Amino acid sequence: MNQIIDLTETDAPLFDPKSWNLTSFQAELCEKARRLGKENFAPRAETWDREASFPVDNYEDLKKEGMLGICIPDSEGGMGADFKSYMLAASEIGRYCGTTALTFNMHVCSCLWTGNLADSLGLDEPTLEQLHQGRSLHYQRILDEGAVYSQPFSEGNAAAAGKMPFGTLASKTEKGWIINGKKGFASLSGNADYYGILATEDKPSLSRRDTLYIAVPATHQGVEVIGDWDPLGMRGTVSRTLLLNNVEVPDEAQLMPRGLYHEAAMRWPHMFMTLTPTYLGIMQGAFDFTVLYLRGEIPGMPIVRRMHPVKQHSLAQMRIMLEQSKSIWFQAISEARPDPSKEERLRAYAAQYTVMENANTICQLAIRTCGGHSMLKSLPLERMYRDSRCGSLMLPWTAEICLERLGKESLYQHGEKDEPPN
């Protein structure tokens, strides 16, 4: 069982409110997330990892604290956190339990995308009215019943980023929709109350502009979770395969009006950065552990190693990478808005890449700096290392996709093509 480590001096806010000029709301939200993480989530993290089981107890805590509605607009009864505020709070959760932070993101995005993000798109009145009417049903389920929403969009292609139609199809009926398809790495499998499904309306010619974002009850006939779940890291996400076989849902199950997801994906690219706070938090957690380890303040590891120059230099390298990652990430999330400039969009790709890659690099360096004992499963660094490896692989913005877009969009203007060789 993981030892519960008192982080004392190293347990300062990931983003100091004064230094980073946070609002009072952001500071309070981060403090709540940090308290929950330290007191409740960190002591349980080893259990979810060892068992590859979902963090049910953590979600009860999130429910009690009103955090399930963190991104539900305050006009709808929620906490009203915008994109930046949520991202800051989520990074504090990731610091203590990567699994909880990552699955929590899947739930929160069902509210963030339909709430603050959609409201900022400048929609016409009929569309806006339809959006508000539809989402209220889902918001009330969360606030009144503690319903948990998942967001299984992965199909192993570029559909989630709005680059091609989804293979999951929705056929229109008189009463609503019939959905057929398959989603891989469906986090919260068997634990979510509703699956927020992204599907393409089934027409003779499939178009990404006909994307539906629709909530499917986990208990509906035709919904099936299959496959085992025994991965390297992020084991508590329980991201099994979700099958949808002629699943019938009413029209009011739509989380967004038809086609609005595609518009958001095209105009609000920062929405795909919501996986990064988890890994920024892991990065900070690995650094905190290393400081305590070298100071001889880890229970059962009382040997002080801080006086060795090689240890000091390694920790300095970790600190530099951490500060670089925090700075570019904070700037990127501060710029999030509809229709960002090319520079802002490229900085978002760079921030995503930096965080996802540096998380694993820092964890590797932490293990080398601390030494062999730090790889013991009785200590949290071993889990952080495994969890950190998952970030660069996660769609829709994998490390490779970010590199490809950064290179291409830096060299080409919009619509520009090379002339064919003579």
From the CA atom positions of the chain, what is the Rg in Å? 22
pLDDT of residue 8: 44
How far apart, in Å, are the Cα atoms of 49 and each of 208, 218, 328, 363, 378?
37, 24, 30, 17, 12
User: Distance between CA atoms of 397 and 348, rounded to whole angstroms?
Assistant: 10
Angle of the 342-370 helix axis to the 380-388 helix axis, nearest 10: 150
Q: What is the pLDDT of residue 1?
A: 46
Q: 3-class DSSP state for residue 334?
A: helix
CA distances from 291 to 240, 259, 312, 323, 384 (A): 36, 49, 10, 15, 15
Q: What is the pLDDT of residue 276?
A: 98
- Distance, in Å, from the CA atom of 136 to the CA atom of 142, rounded to the nearest integer, reads 10
Helices (H) and strands (E) in the chain, counts: 13, 8
The fourth-level CATH superfamily of domain 8-148 is Acyl-CoA dehydrogenase/oxidase, N-terminal domain (1.10.540.10)
Per-residue confidence (pLDDT) for residue 153, from 0 to 100: 86
pLDDT at 160: 62
Check residue 290 and report its DSSP letter: H
- Nearest CA-CA partner of 178 in 242, 226, 224, 245: 245
The fold of 265-411 is Butyryl-CoA Dehydrogenase, subunit A; domain 3 (1.20.140)
Q: Cα-flanking dihedrals φ and ψ of residue 31, to 5°?
A: -65, -40
Q: Locate the domains of the chain by residue range.
A: 8-148, 159-258, 265-411
Task: Please report, in tens digits, the pLDDT of each residue of the chain (422 residues total).
Answer: 455 455 445 679 999 999 999 999 999 999 999 999 999 999 999 999 999 999 999 999 999 999 999 999 999 999 999 999 999 999 999 999 999 999 999 999 999 999 999 999 999 999 999 999 999 999 999 999 999 999 998 887 666 666 678 999 999 999 999 999 999 999 999 999 999 999 999 988 888 889 999 999 999 999 999 999 999 999 999 999 999 999 999 999 999 999 999 999 999 999 999 999 999 999 999 999 999 999 999 888 778 888 788 899 999 999 999 999 999 999 999 999 999 999 999 999 999 999 999 999 999 999 999 998 889 999 999 999 999 999 999 989 999 999 999 999 999 998 898 988 76
pLDDT of residue 301: 78
Render pLDDT for 118-171 as a digit per residue (tens, 0 to 9).
999 999 999 999 999 999 999 999 999 999 999 998 887 666 666 678 999 999
- At 385, which amino acid appears? Y
- Which CATH superfamily groups domain 159-258? Butyryl-CoA Dehydrogenase, subunit A, domain 2 (2.40.110.10)
